[in-house]
Amino acid sequence: MPKRLIARVNSSLGRFLPEQRLFMKSDSATRFVRLRPITQAWVLAAAGAFFLWAVVATSLLFIAGISSGSTREQAAIAQAAFEQRLVTLAKERDSRASEAVAAQERFQLALAQVSQMQSQLLASEERRRELETGIDVIQGTLRRTMTERDTARAALAKTQGTEAGKANSLSARADDMASTVDMLSSVLSSTAAERDAAARDAEDARVETDRIALEKRLLEERNDEIFTTLEGAVKVSMTPLDRMFKNAGMNPDSILSQIRKGYSGTGGPLMPISYSTKGEDPAIARDAARANGILERLDEMNMYRIAVDKLPFAIPIYGGYRFTSPFGYRWGRLHAGIDLAGPVGMQVHVPADGIVTAAEWENGYGNVVKVRHEFGVSTVYGHLSRIRVRVGQKVSRGDVIGDSGNTGRSTGPHLHYEIRVGGNPINPMTFIKAAKDVF
């Protein structure tokens, strides 16, 4: 049965791949090898598979090369974007602080104007009350005088036939009373005019007070909007940073405290805003407290930026690698780091600022470099093919400290990468994943 099947296959393939004979001639005889159609098909299939494998392998290497460059570019772009974000927030912070200071100055001026207008209003009200009192007195005197004048005229009419001297006296008295009434009427008109003017001034003062009060309320609403926007932006920026350090097992408060103790940046930490507390205005105190809170959070953000450069929140190899062994126990022994496999000679970059404490051959690790960072953190780079630093050298984030290799106890070219906190090994992926969640 198998022979019949093979014969049928040869017959079917014979139309496309006719039988071939390979002749081999010697001095004494001539031999040949028959290449049946099925044999030719197997050879062609093997050649095609090899060609396909070569194409796939070449494509993978090409893609790995491209991804290596793109990963470095993406890391640089991410870092530049983070720095640009900090610069933008710093500029916005400065502009908002300037606006807050200008707003507080305008607010103080408005308060002074309100106080002045209130004083004028009180003075106008007092003057108006005095004038009303004077008018009442004058009106009472005028009524009394007019009554006396009418009485005098009546008495004069009754005594027209009496003595001439007495009549003249009464007439003179009536004339005096008439003059007094005219004078009082004039004074009353003048006083009424002053009263009306005082009332108009008081009304103008009330209108101006209402206008200034409206400006003050609009200014307070604008200040509240500015502070709310800044507080929201700072909260959105700070939350992932807090989470990054907590996920890495680091205490953010402790790190910020140590950064502040050793801070040596230009200009120093941001100082709180202080306003004059004359008058003890609650709105000013509340705005000052909110502004100081925003400045404190921005200062913490700046401290976080410094801490990021001092802690290993990055992978030491840029692209072209693969994870081959995780952190944990393996064959009963602790594998204290992670293995990043790749070709020999890949550049190894230090992920944070630090000082080289070892650059030598060590059993098991082969060529190894150890770097001490801040906050009791250190990193180890094993199986290097080349060491590019020396003991005691200060290195900055991104500096090349060696090349990956296959030295020491190693089954293939790779980088063995460890992170130790207080001398105890921890999983490097804790730091790496924490940074990926933010950047």
- Please report, in tens digits, the pLDDT of each residue of the chain (439 residues total): 467 777 777 777 777 777 777 777 777 777 777 777 778 788 888 888 999 998 888 888 777 666 655 556 666 676 777 778 777 777 777 777 777 777 777 777 777 777 777 777 777 777 777 777 777 777 677 677 777 767 766 666 666 555 545 555 556 666 666 676 667 667 667 777 777 777 777 777 777 777 777 777 777 777 777 777 777 766 666 666 666 677 666 677 776 676 666 654 444 444 444 444 454 556 666 767 777 777 777 777 777 777 777 788 888 998 778 888 888 887 778 888 999 998 999 999 999 899 999 999 998 899 999 999 988 889 999 999 999 999 999 999 889 999 999 998 888 899 999 999 888 888 888 888 766 655 4
pLDDT at 370: 95
Beta strands in 267-422 (DSSP E): 322-325, 328-330, 333-335, 338-341, 347-349, 354-362, 366-372, 377-387, 394-395, 400-404, 414-421
pLDDT at 277: 47
pLDDT at 431: 81
Cβ atoms of residues 295 and 308 within 8 Å: no
In this structure, what DSSP letter does residue 234 have?
H
pLDDT at 387: 94
Question: CA angle at residue 129 from 126 to 134, to 5 degrees?
Answer: 125
pLDDT digits (tens, 9 = 90+) for 346-381: 999 999 899 999 999 998 899 999 999 988 889 999
Cβ atoms of residues 388 and 344 within 8 Å: no
pLDDT at 394: 94
Q: 414: alpha, beta or left, given left = phi > 0 and alpha = psi -120 to 50?
A: beta
Cβ atoms of residues 153 and 178 within 8 Å: no
Domain 322-436 fold: Glucose Permease (Domain IIA) (2.70.70)
Q: What is the pTM of this model?
A: 0.46
> Residue 277: how many CA atoms within 13 Å on its side-chain side?
8
Which residue carries 């610069």 as its tokens? 87
* The amino acid at 247: N
Q: Is the torsion defined by CA of 114, 120, 124, 126 positive or negative? A: positive
Map out the domains of the chain as residue ranges: 250-310, 322-436
Which residue carries 């090899």 as its tokens? 50
> Residue 342: how many CA atoms within 13 Å on its side-chain side?
24
Give the integer Cα–Cα distance in Å for 183 and 142. Answer: 10
- DSSP H or E stretch at residue 108: helix 37-158
pLDDT at 65: 66
pLDDT at 386: 93
